[in-house]
Amino acid sequence: MSGMNRRRITSKELAKLAGVSSATVSRAFSPDSRIGSATRDRILAVAREHGYQPNAIARSLNNQRSRLVALVVNAIGNPCEAEEQQLLVHRLQARQLLPIILCCADHADRLQLMRLASTYQVDHVVVFSDMVSMQDAVDIFHTTKPIIVSFEPLENENVSSIRIDGSAAADEIIDKIVRDGKKRFAYLAGTNSSWIDKLRRKWFADALAKRGLAFEAQAFGDYSYDSGFKEAVLLLHRDKVDAIICGNDVMAIGARDAARRVLGRNTPDDIAIVGQDGIAMAAWDCNDLTTLSLDHTAFIDAVVELIERHDAEIEGPHNITLTCAARWGSTA
Amino acid sequence: MSGMNRRRITSKELAKLAGVSSATVSRAFSPDSRIGSATRDRILAVAREHGYQPNAIARSLNNQRSRLVALVVNAIGNPCEAEEQQLLVHRLQARQLLPIILCCADHADRLQLMRLASTYQVDHVVVFSDMVSMQDAVDIFHTTKPIIVSFEPLENENVSSIRIDGSAAADEIIDKIVRDGKKRFAYLAGTNSSWIDKLRRKWFADALAKRGLAFEAQAFGDYSYDSGFKEAVLLLHRDKVDAIICGNDVMAIGARDAARRVLGRNTPDDIAIVGQDGIAMAAWDCNDLTTLSLDHTAFIDAVVELIERHDAEIEGPHNITLTCAARWGSTA
DNA sequence: TTTGCCTGTGTAATCGTGTGCACAATTCGT
DNA sequence: ACGAATTGTGCACACGATTACACAGGCAAA
């Protein structure tokens, strides 16, 4: 029972101990299969006694079903993703699915990593990262239809997607800021290579255009607090803007700190600052950020819904669209 | 090449295509095995053409080595753990090891989950959570010696451990606060069931005792910002303390916000607030927390070191001790 | 009693690789 | 030039489970 046994017992050995064949042992562990209930009870008792559990690797080989799910993410530490990752991991585990995290900074490494995971015959792939192209995902996981989180409709039969639309909420937010009298807008992007950021930027740019305005300045960070802080100093000092739309909440907090500390300017009177994602931290009293927020629960519901459809082997491309909402704080 | 192929090609099929036996295909993918370099090149070429990769599930079954690593954590979103998780995941992936995340709120579910993961024959187990007992870990993963992050020396042959000692740093911090004239201390713990928290509390309690002081009040939160905020209001209002040591940085930020917003008291003059963990966010300008901090890189180095020792099959219990350092901010 | 269905169990094949062993072909040493 | 050592490849089995098929026995209907 307790202590360290070097080797794990196999079904054949257990069979001998219980005086049955290994097939019967297997049946004892399959919920609905033809087996006498007395035999099953006896086998389960012996199994418990010897700490036997069926080997999932061998079962997967036979089943063609590993119950492993690959999650491709940009980062684990990044709070905006972490909340969603947490939710998803719980939902997966409730279905007896085990998540494998693929997380990599470098692009070549990331593809290599995805190839490695694909050799483990994962049952599902969820791509959160905008750093990997849809085509790469399809090519690498050729037998597993990937679920891709996207910001525009994907026109590929071989992927399912969740599209996120924040244009209406962006319009609301811009409306409020313009009515407050702000005129000079800047966009502080996460990275310059991300197409997600380009689309998010477009939501706000369109809202500005509707009112005869445009971004007067633009900067690139890396989604971190430090980059938000640093770039905001430049934007405020050099470009003299009075409103900054940030690529995520963490950079927005950095920008707010920079405005207050370095230039002595406060939100929302001197300057308006807007985040994106709607992470829990944004609502903390010390931050109280105005942000373009996504309902994380609805988002993960959508991912699980797509996984279920794949499991049920429903054919055809599946696309779900979610819309963002404005969450108001004291920074805009 | 591109598009969706339902079935994955096997080594036997590839062998037929390349005019060799499946054994030779296998050898082509094993770095050092007796095979002609011309044959290998031809096989690899055909493999690339048909998108063949050896099936890791089958290989694991044969090898008795899955290259999977189970990480047992309390939460993914929690920043104090997230930074370390991020580092560890990168280090694992550099060694071609795939991390499976086990993360669960409920205790019974957690054990169930660990049992599930153990059926996947994981090569290593790293337990970050203080919510699972050493004995449970040993019993469930009976063939895999777990690596346990602990705050006291573990006396079990069947586990390796990393011990974290913050007593010296706690002494430094208490010294400073006492010299600043604070007298009434409170401890705001993470949870009441966590033995990690009891030990951390002891570091500070010992430092106080050395100076003839003791904690005058104590409260329990759940490591979240909100719980830090709420409990701090009570401590300050009801117990009238002038120093709060918190179980982690996030609660410390909540407590600081509560002091400032609800009671109009500022750090460090009116009140001293101390965090624990040393997460990046604690150093942000808006927080600037004094905290008992652990060197995350050294910590993960230690985990990787233990994994390497297990791989090299070095016998005996392995224990590594790390010490915390005080990181000074403007809250104490 | 005979026929036939249903239940419970064992036998053997299968999933896709890795590898020990045997053997042919080639190279080397003297 | 001939035996020995080396190299390259195929055959067959093992890894640990699931499952189609066969079959023995129990029980009900005719």
pLDDT digits (tens, 9 = 90+) for A147-206: 888 766 677 888 899 988 999 999 999 999 999 999 999 999 987 767 778 889 999 999
Does the pLDDT value for residue B1 go beyond 60? Answer: no
Residue B2 lies in a domain: no
Rounded CA separation B245/B330 (Å): 14
How many Cβ atoms from other residues are within 10 Å of residue A117's Cβ? 25
Least confident stretch, A122-131, A291-300, B21-30, B36-45: A122-131
Residue B60 lies in a domain: no
H/E element, B277: strand B272-277
Q: Are residues A92 and A184 in the same domain?
A: no
Interatomic separation, CA of residue B118 and C1' of nucleotide D16, rounded (Å): 15
Q: Test A100 with B96 for CB contact under 8 angstroms.
A: no
Residue A150 lies in a domain: yes
Residue B122 lies in a domain: yes
Q: Are residues B15 and B131 in the same domain?
A: no
What pLDDT does A2 receive?
Answer: 46
Rounded CA separation A89/A55 (Å): 23
Does the pLDDT value for residue B3 go beyond 70? Answer: no
Q: Are residues B186 and B121 in the same domain?
A: no
Q: Are residues A122 and A159 in the same domain?
A: yes
What pLDDT does B9 receive?
Answer: 92
Number of domains in chain A: 3
What pLDDT does B59 receive?
Answer: 97
What pLDDT does B81 receive?
Answer: 76
Residue B15 lies in a domain: yes
Q: Test B257 with A120 for CB contact under 8 angstroms.
A: no
Q: Are residues B209 and B130 in the same domain?
A: no
Mean confidence (pLDDT) of chain B: 90
Strand C neighbours (CB under 7 Å) are: A 19-24, 27, 34-39, 58, 61-62, 64; B 8, 10-12, 22-23, 26-27, 29-30, 33, 52-55, 58-59, 61-63
Q: How near does any CA of chain A get to the CA of B264, in Å?
A: 13
Binning chain A into helix, strand and coil, the percentages to the nearest 5 are 45, 20, 35
Residue B3 lies in a domain: no
Q: Are residues B43 and B84 in the same domain?
A: no
Residue B34 lies in a domain: yes
Among B1, B67, B284, most A C-beta atoms within 10 A, so best to mutate, is B284
Q: What is the mean pLDDT of residues B146-168?
A: 83
Q: Test B113 with A93 for CB contact under 8 angstroms.
A: yes
Residue B177 lies in a domain: yes
Task: Please identify every stretch of chain A with a pLDDT value under 50, giving residue numbers as ranges.
Answer: 1-3
Q: Are residues B179 and B266 in the same domain?
A: yes
Q: Are residues A50 and A80 in the same domain?
A: no
CATH number of domain containing B210? 3.40.50.2300
What pLDDT does B2 receive?
Answer: 46
pLDDT tens by residue, B78-125: 666 788 888 999 999 999 999 999 988 788 889 999 999 999 999 999
Q: Are residues B129 and B152 in the same domain?
A: yes
What pLDDT does B143 receive?
Answer: 87
Q: How confident is the model at residue B6 (pLDDT cuts 50, 70, 90)?
A: low
Q: Are residues A107 and A213 in the same domain?
A: no
CATH number of domain containing B26? 1.10.260.40
Q: Are residues B140 and B22 in the same domain?
A: no
Residue A187's SS3 state is strand
Q: Are residues A307 and A283 in the same domain?
A: no
Does the pLDDT value for residue B77 go beyond 80? Answer: no
Which among A284, A43, A296, A98 is positioned nearest to B102, based on CA atoms?
A98
Q: Which domain holds residue B272?
A: 167-293
